[in-house]
Amino acid sequence: MTGSQSVAGRGAGEGVLVLGVDTCGPSGTVALARVGAGGIELLGQTELAGKTYSATLVSAVEGLLTGHGVKLADIGAIVVVNGPAIGAGSELVGFGDVVIATPKAKFAQPEVKLGVFPPFAAVMLPQIIGQKKTYELILTGEALTAEDALRFGFVNKVVSEAELPNYVESLMARISEFSGPVLEVTKRVIGNSIGQPLKQAMKTSQDLYLNELMSLEDVQEGLRAVIEKRKPVWKNK
């Protein structure tokens, strides 16, 4: 979708959850769907009514996910950008774990031009692209091109618009092969380690590994599959 982002991740149930966010034009929309072998099932949508302030956008996204038993912080999120991601739209991209963009994408935090600052970007961007580049983007309001965003680590890959559907489909298919609960615990470990001293981060990782991960049925299935030299059959438990 031109001028929009989509976020995909594993959640409860069969298939891949896809969150589409359109932040362009006078009115914005957030829609949640499940993509599986049977096609696309629309689970719900929320109108933003043109309110793209950071807290409003993120609250709308989280509210839609929570209503279906999913937390944005706990799922592996793929963000696809095929157009301008400005203000709150760019901040939403920052929540993604893997960001795919086309050359048409651009990212900007122009809030300073309106006399305010971007609350989420001010916290997230230094951890993603570094302090100096964050100062430049937020204090000038200038935009990053897709290639610039790739160079600074805000985007994982830039693909042509023609290649985008197949690339995203392939990426989601690979992620869908794995256990959802295992991916959730893995993401939590990575997220919790950011900003922590190494010793504390290692302790947190070890605690989750021994006390939560190892209690999952899918972990036992994975070990059995290795021993039996077969492909694991996940129960997502």
CA 207 to chain centre: 25
User: Which residue among the candidates 91, 147, 163, 217 is catalytic per the annotation?
Assistant: 91
Using an 8 Å Cβ cutoff, are 120 and 54 in contact? yes
CA distance 225 to 218: 10
Show the tokens assigned to 41.
Answer: 């099932």
Using an 8 Å Cβ cutoff, are 9 and 76 in contact? yes
Answer yes or no: 228 catalytic: no
User: Which residue among the candidates 14, 111, 184, 221 is catalytic per the annotation?
Assistant: 111
Using an 8 Å Cβ cutoff, are 96 and 149 in contact? no
For residue 121, the SS3 value is helix
CA distance 61 to 49: 14
Show the tokens assigned to 35.
Answer: 């993509």
Using an 8 Å Cβ cutoff, are 135 and 129 in contact? no
Using an 8 Å Cβ cutoff, are 77 and 8 in contact? yes
Answer yes or no: 111 catalytic: yes
Q: What positions carry a catalytic annotation?
A: 91, 111
